[in-house]
């Protein structure tokens, strides 16, 4: 059994309780929306951390909290650990939102260009670059549009589809404690780099510092080369690790005793 520390226990209970009562309406209101969305509210930078998209999502995050959190809380104390956890989680949300802003702006520019010149070729290009996973669903419509490129109903239909795809992206909320948890993992790796951890898959021992490097490399690669069907917020994970690195190094440079 893991000996849970007070803050880790409180975070675990709170996340589980919120997960039990979570529904689509709660996610829509308290999940983190794009800065460009009418649904964005600054409080979502905090509240999204207690929402999860499914059992496997919350399970993986809470395992990370239980495994790596207690040693950090014992090392820093409850107050500093709490600050660290939320600093990483909110920092992760800010980095994710900043990158998401530019990504959505790119989509909007494509929408604007298509509105100015709605043609079958332009529609195909938009779907191929901005909503590739939708291509199969739109195949029959594309065939008709190519055969009747001046049909006003098909032109209007294509505009509605493009607008809807854009709105779905801008209103897609991000949820989960993953940013904070990846920050906790980074903090653990920085403070206890040579601690031996035993992985379940594959079942091999590995030092904490190598695990952090592995996780970081995977998230950077996945973030830069993310498939359109990938709904994981990789840059939130990277943000959590980045803000953890900054804070741990800052606290270390102060050379003060932690209480």
| Per-residue model confidence (pLDDT) at position 216 | 76
**32 φ/ψ angles, rounded to the nearest 5 degrees:** -80, 115
Coil, strand, or helix at residue 196? strand
| Per-residue model confidence (pLDDT) at position 234 | 75
| Per-residue model confidence (pLDDT) at position 131 | 83
Tell me if the pTM is above 0.75: yes
Report mean pLDDT in 10-residue bins for the chain, 259 residues: 86 97 95 94 97 93 93 96 98 93 90 94 91 85 94 95 92 94 94 83 78 77 57 79 95 66
| Per-residue model confidence (pLDDT) at position 225 | 60
Q: In this structure, what token pair is assigned to residue 147?
A: 């055969």
The H or E element spanning position 165 is: helix 152-170
Q: In this structure, what token pair is assigned to residue 44?
A: 């979502």
Place of tokens 């010149």: 117
Where does residue 130 rank: exposed (0-12), middle (13-18), buried (19+ CB within 10 A)?
buried
Tell me how far apart the alpha carbons of residues 113 and 116 are, in angstroms, rounded to a whole number: 5
Tell me how far apart the alpha carbons of residues 52 and 19 are, in angstroms, rounded to a whole number: 7
Q: Cis omega (within 30 of 0) on the bond before 20?
A: no
For 175-195, give one letter per residue: b (16+ CB within 10 A) or e: bbbbbbbbbbbbbbbbbbeee
């Amino acid at each position: 059994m893991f000996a849970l520390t007070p803050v880790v226990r409180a975070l675990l209970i709170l996340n589980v309780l919120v997960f039990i009562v979570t529904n689509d309406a709660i996610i829509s209101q308290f999940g983190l929306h794009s800065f460009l969305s009418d649904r964005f509210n600054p409080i979502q930078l905090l509240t999204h951390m207690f929402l999860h998209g499914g059992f496997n999502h919350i399970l993986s995050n809470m395992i990370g909290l239980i495994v790596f959190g207690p040693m950090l809380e014992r090392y820093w104390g409850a107050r500093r650990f709490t600050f660290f956890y939320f600093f990483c989680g909110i920092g992760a949300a800010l980095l994710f939102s900043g990158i998401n802003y530019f990504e959505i702006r790119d989509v909007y520019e494509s929408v604007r260009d298509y509105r100015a010149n709605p043609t079958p070729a332009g529609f195909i290009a938009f779907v191929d670059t901005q909503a590739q996973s939708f291509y199969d669903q739109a195949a029959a419509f594309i065939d008709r549009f190519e055969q009747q490129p001046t049909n006003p109903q098909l032109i209007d239909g294509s505009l509605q589809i493009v607008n809807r795809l854009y709105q779905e992206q801008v209103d897609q909320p991000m949820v989960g404690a993953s940013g904070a948890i990846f920050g906790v993992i980074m903090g653990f790796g920085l403070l206890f780099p040579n601690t031996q951890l035993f992985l379940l898959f594959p079942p091999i021992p590995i030092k904490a510092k190598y695990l952090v490097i592995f996780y970081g490399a995977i998230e950077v690669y996945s973030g830069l080369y993310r498939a359109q069907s990938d709904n994981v917020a990789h840059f939130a994970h990277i943000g959590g690790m980045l803000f953890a690195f900054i804070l741990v190094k800052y606290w270390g440079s102060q050379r003060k005793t932690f209480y």
